[in-house]
Amino acid sequence: MAMTRKKRRIALIAAGMAALAAAATLVGVGMRDSIVFFFSPAEMIARAPGPDQRLRVGGLVEVGSVERGQGETVSFVVTDGAASLPVRFKGVLPDLFSEGQGVVAEGRLVNGVFVADEVLAKHDETYMPREVADALKKQGVYRGAEEGGGS
Amino acid sequence: MRSIWELANPARFMRLSAAALPWCAGGAALALLVGTVWGFFLTPDDYRQGSTVKILFVHVPSALMAINIYAMMAVASVIWLVRRHHVSALAAKAAAPIGAAMTAIALATGAMWGQPMWGAPWVWDPRLTSFLILFLFYVGYIALWAAIEDPDAAADLTSVLCLVGTVFAVVSRYAVLFWNQGLHQGASLSLDAKENVDDAFYWPLLAMIAGFALFFLALLLLRTRTEIRRRRIRALRMARARAEEAREGALEGAADVA
């Protein structure tokens, strides 16, 4: 039975879309490593990049690890639970930067220390009024954003 | 039985859209007024973002519309390619500039939020990058419509371009799920995510989303009506030109005989 013209158009569109979707997926999967915006400390240590490679590391700022040095120098530890990486940074930190919160730092890994020239704060998808957060903290329900840094 | 395909009849579309337009426009004005006043003046500060959280009330609806308008254009393009309803092709054409504007608003408000919160207005995060690509697809789509003289050929080619872009739009929508290691946070609003956004922000945000959706609908109806009228004028002009040519041809023929 011959296809009607309408059916043939539908088949052509479906085939074209399927081919495109397959191509886009292949590109996405193939370039996964370069599409990833940052690496976790564990991935960073496993990769062991040279000091000339610019990369981004992301995770949570370990509680109690932030140390302010001379001038604008700050050092802190980024952790993903499995591994942690010391970070050194000179510059102005964003508003949302705080201990226990997500952070993404861009720079180079030099002798096991990540020397960052840019630090970005990562925000999660939680939005609540200040009073609610305070009330939750008082009740001990809320313990700070836990998923801030991805995995 | 009445079906959605009745709208494919331009005359019927004109009648129904004329009746629906004031309701959409009125609803949009009401929802946007309520959402803006409520969102900007009556919501508390966020526990970490302070008053910067108020950008959410423009950023989330515009980003949502940017994606959904493209989806609507894709559906309209498929209907044009399969069923050849002119109203469908013209609706997609009418929607494109609105979608491009929504994408631009989402990118601009995102930069305003990102500068104080992340510490950078723009980063090459998968989600941000795919939104920029979406914007470029809108611009390319509009340019392609403008570049081709013949309306049916233009509708065919722009429909194909729109469907190609759909693949990117889908990737953009799910980029955060595929590549969860980006800087952009996950979707704040989904069917199960009500717990992420406190009620104090949730209800004004819903009002703004309703307002943006109705505003789009009103603009879409208005612009599609304009496109239908433009098409009709073009058809009348061409008919007149053909009639004049025929008359001149007849006169010349008569002169030859004489």
Cβ of residue B181 closer than 8 Å to a chain A Cβ: yes
Residue B127 covered by a domain: yes
For residue B187, the enclosing domain spans 61-203+219-257
Q: What is the mean pLDDT of chain A?
A: 80
CA–CA separation, A56 and B168 (whole Å): 25
- Domain residue extents for chain A: 1-33, 37-139
Please measure the distance between the N-terminal and C-terminal CA atoms of chain A and give it in whole angstroms. 54
Residue B122 confidence (pLDDT) above 60: yes
Model pLDDT, residue A150: 35
Which of the two residues, B66 and A150, has the higher pLDDT score? B66
Confidence of residue B78 (pLDDT cuts 50, 70, 90): very high
Closest CA to B40 of B152, B183, B208, B224: B208
| Contact across the interface for B47 and A10, Cβ inside 8 Å | no
Q: What is the pTM of this model?
A: 0.83
| CA A56 to the chain's CA centroid | 8
Query: Is the backbone of residue B253 left (phi > 0), alpha (psi -120 to 50) or beta?
Result: alpha
A9-to-B82, B89, B188 alpha-carbon distances in Å: 6, 16, 39
Indicate the DSSP class of residue B200: H
Over residues A22-32, the pLDDT tens digits come to 888 887 777 76
Quick check: A136 and A110 in contact, CB under 8 A? no
Tokens 């599609």 belong to residue: B224
For the ranges A51-55, A141-145, B65-69, the one whose mean pLDDT is highest = B65-69
Partner A contacted by B49 (CB < 8 A):
yes
Residue B50's Cα: distance from chain center in Å?
32
Residue B164 pLDDT > 60, yes or no? Answer: yes
The reply to whether A142 sits in an annotated binding site is no
Q: Is this prediction's ipTM beyond 0.85?
A: no
**d(Cα B8, Cα B144) in Å, to the nearest integer?**
24
Q: Please report the residues numbered 121 through 180 in chain B whose beta carbons come closer than 8 angstroms to any beta carbon of chain A.
A: 123-126, 160, 163-164, 166-168, 170-171, 178-180
B36-65 pLDDT, tens digit each? 999 888 888 887 777 788 898 999 999 999
Task: Examine residue B54 and state whether it is found in any structural domain, yes or no.
Answer: no
Compare B94 and A4 and report the one with higher pLDDT.
B94
Those residues with Cβ within 8 angstroms of residue B119's Cβ, 6 or more apart along the chain or in another chain: A92, A93, A94, A95, A97, A118, A119, A120, A121
Please give the radius of gyration of chain B, using alpha carbons only, rounded to the nearest integer. 23
Four-CA torsion B30, B33, B36, B41, nearest 10 degrees: -120
Does residue B1 lie in a domain region?
no
Take residue B100 and report the two structure tokens written for it: 């491009």
pLDDT of residue B223: 96
Answer yes or no: is B190 within a domain: yes
Predicted confidence at residue A142, as pLDDT, reads 54
Task: Average the pLDDT over each of B32-36, B120-124, B176-180 and give the range with the smallest value.
Answer: B176-180
Tell me how far apart the alpha carbons of residues B53 and B123 are, in angstroms, rounded to a whole number.
19
Least confidently predicted of A147-151, B39-43, B117-121, B182-186: A147-151
Q: Would you say residue B28 lies in a domain? A: no
Q: Is A113 on the interface with B (CB under 8 A)?
A: no
Q: Write the CATH number of the domain with boundaries A37-139.
A: 2.40.50.140
Confidence of residue B93 (pLDDT cuts 50, 70, 90): very high
pLDDT per residue over B207-250, tens digit each?
999 999 999 999 999 999 999 999 999 999 999 999 999 988 88
Instruction: Please tell me the distance from the alpha carbon of residue B67 to that of residue B65, in angstroms, as a whole number.
Output: 5
- Band of pLDDT at residue A146, cut at 50, 70 and 90: very low
Q: If 0-12 CB within 10 Å is exposed, 13-18 middle and 19+ buried, where does residue B111 land?
A: middle
At A145 the pLDDT is: 42
Cα separation of A16 and A38, whole Å?
Answer: 34
Would you say residue B178 has pLDDT above 80? no
Q: What percent of chain A has pLDDT over 70?
A: 81
φ and ψ of A149, to 5 deg:
-100, 5
- The verdict on whether residue A93 carries a ligand-binding annotation is no
Which of chain A's residues have a Cβ under 8 Å away from the Cβ of B126? 35, 37
User: Across A113-122, B170-179, B194-203, which has the greatest mean pLDDT?
Assistant: A113-122
Higher-confidence position of B175 and B45: B45
What letter would DSSP give residue B48?
A: T
Q: Left (φ > 0), alpha (ψ -120 to 50) or beta: where does A3 sit?
A: beta
**Which residue carries 């861009």 as its tokens?**
A106
Number of domains in chain B: 1
